[in-house]
Amino acid sequence: MDNAIIQMARQGDRKSIARCISLIENAAEGHETIISQAAAEQVVPLIGITGPPGAGKSTLVDALVEAFVADEKKVAVVCVDPSSPFNKGALLGDRIRMNRWYNHPLVYIRSLASRGSMGGLHPSAKQITAFLQGCGFDLIILETVGVGQSEIEIARLADVCLLVLVPEAGDEIQFMKAGLMEVADIFVVNKADRPGAAFFARQLKNMLHSSSRSQHPEASVVNTVATTGKGVGELMTCITSFLNNKKQDNGRIDPQ
Ligand SMILES: Nc1nc2c(ncn2[C@@H]2O[C@H](COP(=O)(O)OP(=O)(O)OP(=O)(O)O)[C@@H](O)[C@H]2O)c(=O)[nH]1
Ligand SMILES: [Mg+2]
């Protein structure tokens, strides 16, 4: 492994970052060196975003990136999802919005093939996000579709975990996967332009209040319309205050 590439990646050179990620993703020769040198000099928060297919995760990521960039933050996005707009790009009309970030100096986007990891988190997602934490970004966003065990794994990995749901999920909430209520730090009711959003948000709050969420008693519920940006400001405030509280509790954010 050429150490110069790692050094360039750590200084934010995109081609070198891409090269290093590919080596990690393929567990190719030299990937251990990259991982062993991955440690970030500063604490870089990892924001996990999960939820059922089509809930609006990528649209929300796009809106969050916009808000962070407006704040002059450097953001890296890792997307583990075979049906993501990062992969499909221009094939789907309304999924091309993320493309506007591809050449933006403050934004780096990378999609990972899901590799049939039995519905769990991508096998190298942890190593790749840890590597990116050492490449000069202010924060890392990891989007993964909520299937199998992936929500639980993303919650374990991320410093703050967002579960994106839609109002229609209200009908099924009592059948929600065991443990799902426990994994999220922030519940996002996206597509709040559709009927039933306020009712669903209330239902969620009641459930959270009555469940034994001893680990995250402070979880919040935010309504958003990712396509217009409505509620994204409030979501940003929730994310920031959750991370700040966590920093105070731990002395530092545990990057895992
Ligand atoms: N009405 C409405 N549509 C939305 C909203 N957010 C996203 N959408 C639409 O929902 C569809 C799916 O959005 P995505 O952002 O691709 O959803 P996703 O959760 O990333 O989907 P997968 O990655 O395939 O699981 C797109 O057509 C979006 O335009 C919203 O707040 N309101
Ligand atoms: Mg997506």
Domain shared by 207 and 110, yes or no: yes
Domain shared by 6 and 46, yes or no: no
Domain shared by 65 and 5, yes or no: no
Closest-lying ligand to the alpha carbon of 97?
1
Task: Pick the atom of ligand 1 nearest to 95's CA.
Answer: 16
Do the beta carbons of residue 37 and residue 162 sit within 8 Å? no
Say which CATH number the domain at 70 has.
3.40.50.300
Helix (H) or strand (E) segment spanning residue 188: strand 186-189
Query: What is the Rg, in whole angstroms, of the alpha carbon atoms belonging to the chain?
Result: 18
Secondary structure of residue 110 in the 3-state scheme: strand
Domain shared by 53 and 27, yes or no: no
pLDDT, tens digit, for every residue of 136-177? 999 999 998 876 677 788 888 999 999 999 998 876 666 565
Under DSSP, the state recorded for 230 is B
Pick 64 or 207 by higher pLDDT: 64
* pLDDT more than 70, % of the chain: 78
How far CA 204 is from CA of 70, 85, 154, 213, 240, in Å, comes to: 31, 29, 21, 13, 21
Domain shared by 85 and 30, yes or no: no
Do the beta carbons of residue 65 and residue 59 sit within 8 Å? no
87: confidence class by pLDDT, cuts 50, 70, 90:
very low
Distance separating alpha carbons of residues 26 and 28, to the nearest angstrom? 5
Q: How many helices (H) and strands (E) does the chain have?
A: 10, 7
pLDDT, tens digit, for every residue of 106-146? 999 998 876 655 556 777 899 999 999 999 999 999 998 87
Residue given tokens 């999609």 in the structure block = 111
Helix (H) or strand (E) segment spanning residue 238: helix 232-250
Residue to mutate (ligand 1; options 227, 230, 234; most atoms within 8 A of CB): 227
251: confidence class by pLDDT, cuts 50, 70, 90:
low
Residue to mutate (ligand 1; options 49, 50, 58; most atoms within 8 A of CB): 58
Query: Half-sphere exposure of residue 230, counting CA atoms within 13 Å on the CB side?
Result: 11
Q: Whole-prediction pTM value?
A: 0.89
First to last CA, the chain: 25
Domain shared by 234 and 155, yes or no: yes
Distance separating alpha carbons of residues 148 and 152, to the nearest angstrom? 9
Tally Cβ neighbours within 10 Å of residue 72: 8
pLDDT at 184 over 80: yes
Domain shared by 121 and 30, yes or no: no
Number of structural domains in the chain: 2
In which domain, by residue range, is 28 found? 1-37
Query: Helices marked H in 72-162 — which ranges?
Result: 85-88, 125-132, 150-157
